[in-house]
Chains A and B, each alone.
Chain A
């Protein structure tokens, strides 16, 4: 039986009509590495200094972060947003990291000397894995992209933060 067409305009199915994906599909790591490299190169072509480049990367990370908050809060937390700082940080350390990078962040620490400073510590940042930093850009750290993600999630939950990334042996995301 053929259906009778009444309107020439097909109904627009909104993205909200679809059910939320379970988030199980995967892509190849090399694909992501190349995409990320294009992203970094693109940013690099539009800025003059290393700090500008890091800010730009963080801005783009924030785009990802805002969407991640909504997605994970709906999927994992049945729509309830965290309001306590510590639970937001734990949410980032475990849930967010797991769904973005496939494992939890290595450590979450609270600074001894300052009760407003926290550290998220990651031994091997995914976005840095394929980056070889040129000599003239010594302080560049592409993990500012990740920092942007974290910052966006915290701000979506109502916390204003300053993110710093420290390069020590590991990568530290310092939250103020």
Chain B
């Protein structure tokens, strides 16, 4: 493929059209959040292959390594670099902070959608992608620029290693 990059506006607006459609179809904001997460999950399980093929990176050494790889994933796919902060003392949870986010450009939440997690697709992508490399993670939004916070913050927490998913004969 010759061209690997695309103007982010088409992406932003297409995502916007999708969220609008979901809001029309479901009416319940919680269901929209769930649906977005599910779609993200589907994207994540396929996106990870692209990520591994492009970066040639091996298994994560520890969760800090995972955090850095997730950060570079954002750089590769969305062209943004979130900062990694607020490590938990046990080292099993961290926050990704976004100053800018291509998903939320041109977006303003109307008052009746304050429970909408507009970028919830991202948490799904993280879950799906990590699951494919035998890691179960949970992630959720702590802050959201669309709700007047100064940054958008996603908390990512390590849940467990998925041992069973490793095929026999592979370490």
Contact = CB atoms under 8 A, between A and B. Distances in A.
Q: Are both chains from one complex?
A: yes
Interface of A: 10, 12-15, 21, 23, 25-32, 34-36, 38-39, 41-42, 46, 59-61, 63-64, 67-68, 71, 99-102, 126
A57 to B, nearest CB: 10
Contacts of A100: 7, 9-10
Nearest to A103: B3
B162 interface: no
B14 A26 contact: no
B132 interface: no
Contact of B13 (A26, A59, A63, A102): A63
B18 A102 contact: no
Given A27-B78, A42-B22, A63-B13, 13 more contacts: A15-B108, A21-B105, A26-B6, A26-B79, A27-B77, A28-B5, A28-B77, A32-B10, A34-B42, A35-B121, A60-B14, A71-B106, A126-B6
Contacts of B18: 35, 38-39, 42, 60
Contacts of A67: 13, 16, 106
Contact of A32 (B14, B46, B107, B108): B14
Nearest to B105: A21
Nearest to A57: B17
Contact of A38 (B1, B25, B42, B76): B42
Name the residue among B5, B14, B102, B107 with the largest chain A CB count within 10 angstroms: B14
9 contacts: A15-B108, A26-B8, A28-B77, A35-B18, A35-B43, A39-B18, A63-B17, A67-B13, A126-B6
Contacts of A14: 108
A40 B44 CA distance: 17
Name the residue among A10, A28, A36, A39 with the largest chain B CB count within 10 angstroms: A28
Contacts of A60: 14, 17-18, 21
Nearest to A13: B148
Contact of B14 (A15, A39, A102): A39
Q: Is the interface of A mostly helix, strand, loop or mixed?
A: helix
B47 interface: yes
A61 B14 CA distance: 8
B4 interface: yes
B84 interface: no
Interface string B1-42: 101111111110111111011100100000000010001001
Given A28-B76, A39-B14, A23 B43 contact: no
B41 to A, nearest CB: 10
Contacts of A46: 25
A63 B15 contact: no
Given A42-B39, A60-B18, A27 B25 contact: no
B68 interface: no
A3 to B, nearest CB: 14
A61 B79 CA distance: 24
B50 interface: yes
